[in-house]
Amino acid sequence: MYLGVEIKSMEILRLLSQWLNKKLNFRTPEAQTVLRLAVVQIVVGVGVGLWRPAIWTEVLVLCGLSFLAAVVVMGYRPLRRVLTVRIDEKSVAPTLQIANETLPFLRRGLNEETARQTAEIIQKISDVAAVAITDREKVLVFLGPGCENHPVGGSIVTRATHEVIATGELKVVQNKSEFNCPVKDCICPLEAAVIAPLTCKGKVVGTVKLYQTHKGQIPGSVVKLAVGVAQLLGVQMELAELDRQAQLVTRAELDALQAQINPHFLFNTLNTISMFIRTNPETARRLLIRLAAFFRHSLKRYGRFITLEEEMEYIHTYLVLEKARFREKLRILRNIDKSLLQYRIPVLTVQPLVENAIRHGITPKEGQGTVQISAQLRGDEIEIAITDDGVGIPPEIMPKIFTPGFGSGSGVGLSNVHERLKILFGEEHGLNIESEPGNGTAVWLRVPLVLEDFE
């Protein structure tokens, strides 16, 4: 009888504890803790009661209230929870290795070549029978045992893959029938797969599929691997798209700068020729023929680089035009390492610097002036220097010399070359200038050894 009453009382207490927890967020302390607390309160109460029997009733009340208060405090105190994160090395380590090795390929975008290289890395690192990567319409690569009715380059056939592309949700195929393949009468060794959506900038651009050729459930580690690989490949594709956009911006900047400097050279040269039209028509005619030949040759160029030899030819044509104007006032010295003539430099890099030296260094000077053009090998770079003994640049102007459009022409030439060099080769490859008023100016630059154009 007593046992039944005890069991019923325990059940009532359990239900009461659940109700308090649900309604009041009160957690009943453990029985062992409550028992210890009760023992302490009894010992304290008995001790005080024996010491002061006159206040026995008050002590009993205080002990009871203290006991209840302690239980309430423990019941509402937030429980410390220890979160244990289980690192699944079987899925994390291969994913990171795959991400590291596929990064150089996917920066070029998603196509059959980069997909094949990526799939080879996935199959080598992971423990799966077959790997496939698709875009939204066709199979880009398939490695491992499969069906000959699903060739690389062919359209996506299985409805399971179409479903993942349409919904953007992961799909785990546990048996062959779930592929929903409409192709019949074929021998397909694939029994199960995990199909993960490949997303870029929030849009599904394809799928990554990992297959197994034996029946049974896809292991959780393979599912996690597929999800991780798809996410990382998507991030890498987004980085590739950002790189492509940055390259387009860079090309646009270079095109704009090159388009700016060609008319600048043309207009200054035509101004020189116009001076001879009335005073010396024959000289003007010869100079126009040379200018026409210069631009005819220029129009045959492709890309943003020319050889140092071609740049020197441009400069020679320009100096012929300038010598016709300045005659003995202008003296030119050349110190060109002939072994460097076949290396390529950005188009119209040196000519604007020579023009600037003549226009703003030699022209204002009284008497003869000299411009020296030098190109020498310094380590693994070409150092090109243009020096003059002209009037120099005033100190208050030097901080503004690379400001586009500053001055009467120098801003166009110097800032243009300065910006193009930094865009192509990095911040450390801009122009360097030293000038002393009354003694001349030196401008020099460094160009890496380049034999072919690069975009």
Report the chain's mean pLDDT, rounded to a whole number. 75
DSSP 327: G
Alpha-carbon distance of 395 to 400, in angstroms, equals 10
The pLDDT value recorded for residue 100 is: 56
pLDDT at 284 over 80: yes
Q: What does the pLDDT average to over 244-255? A: 57
Question: What CATH number should be reported for the domain holding residue 216?
Answer: 3.30.450.40
Structural domains of the chain, count? 3
What values do phi and psi take at 132, rounded to 5? -135, 145
d(CA 196, CA 182): 21
Shortest CA distance to 360 belongs to which of 432, 440, 276, 436? 440
Q: Is the pLDDT of residue 149 over 70?
A: no
Distance from C-alpha of 132 to C-alpha of 139, rounded to nearest angstrom:
7
Tokens for 292, please give them.
Answer: 């026409």
In DSSP terms, 211 is beta-bridged to: 130, 193
Sorting pLDDT into bands at 50, 70 and 90, what band is 317? confident
292 plus 439 within the same structural domain: yes
- Mean pLDDT value across residues 337-363: 89
Residue 263 covered by a domain: no
Q: Are residues 160 and 37 in the same domain?
A: no
Q: In terms of domains, do 306 and 385 share one?
A: yes
Query: Residue 323 has which token pair?
Result: 């010598």
pLDDT for 255 beyond 60: no
Instruction: Determine contact, residues 205/135, Cβ cutoff 8 Å.
Output: yes
Grouping H, G, I as helix, E, B as strand and the rest as coil, residue 59 is helix
Do residues 298 and 335 both lie within one domain? yes
Tell me, what's the pLDDT at 334?
94
CB 174 within 8 A of CB 198: no
Q: Is there a contact between 56 and 47 (Cβ–Cβ < 8 Å)? A: no
Residue count of the chain: 455
399 located within any domain: yes
Better-scored residue on pLDDT, 1 or 326: 326
Do 36 and 93 lie in one domain? The reply is no
Q: What average pLDDT does the segment 137-159 reach?
A: 83
Can you tell me the mean pLDDT for 321-328? 80
Residue 323, pLDDT score:
83
The answer to whether 417 and 411 have CB atoms below 8 angstroms apart is: no
Question: Which tokens sit at 287?
Answer: 């100079």
Reported confidence tier of residue 362, pLDDT bands at 50, 70, 90: very high
Quote the percentage of the chain above a pLDDT of 90.
17
> Residue 259: inside a domain, yes or no?
no
Residue 265 domain-assigned? no
Pair 371, 332: CB distance under 8 Å:
yes
Closest CA to 431 of 407, 409, 415: 415
Smallest Cα–Cα separation from 351: which of 439, 412, 286, 273?
A: 412
Q: List CB contacts of 50: < 8 A, sequence separation 6 or more.
A: none
Any idea which of 8-17, 203-212, 364-373, 426-435 has the lowest mean pLDDT?
A: 8-17
Are the CB atoms for 98 and 126 separated by under 8 Å? Answer: yes
Domain, as residue range, for 164: 89-243
Is 166 found in the same domain as 33?
Answer: no
pLDDT digits (tens, 9 = 90+) for 299-310: 655 567 889 998
What are the C-alpha distances in Å from 212 to residues 132, 154, 327? 12, 22, 84
Give the integer Cα–Cα distance in Å for 115 and 152. Answer: 11
Sequence-distant (≥ 6) Cβ neighbours of residue 221 within 8 angstroms: 88, 90, 91
Maximal CA-CA distance, the chain: 137
CATH assignment at residue 298 = 3.30.565.10
Name the burial class of residue 353, with classes exposed (0-12), middle (13-18) and buried (19+) by CB atoms within 10 angstroms of its CB.
buried
The label of the residue with tokens 């860079």 reads 250
Mean pLDDT, range 281-287, rounded to an integer = 85
DSSP 8-state symbol, 182: -
* Integer Cα distance of 285 and 263 in angstroms: 20
Distance CA 153, CA 169 (A): 24
Q: What is the mean pLDDT of residues 26-48?
A: 62
Q: Examine the domain organization and report whether 105 and 145 are in the same domain.
A: yes
Please give the sequence-ordered ranges of beta strands (E in DSSP) within 219-343, or none if there are none.
305-307, 330-336
Domain membership flag for residue 313 = yes
In Å, what is the CA distance from 55 to each residue of 41, 140, 259?
Answer: 16, 91, 104
Please indicate, yes or no, if residue 253 is contained in any of the structural domains: no
End of a domain among 76, 105, 122? 76
SS3 for 345? strand
Within this chain, do residues 96 and 211 fall inside the same structural domain, yes or no? Answer: yes
Is 324 in the same domain as 410?
yes
Q: Is residue 109 located within the same domain as residue 221?
A: yes
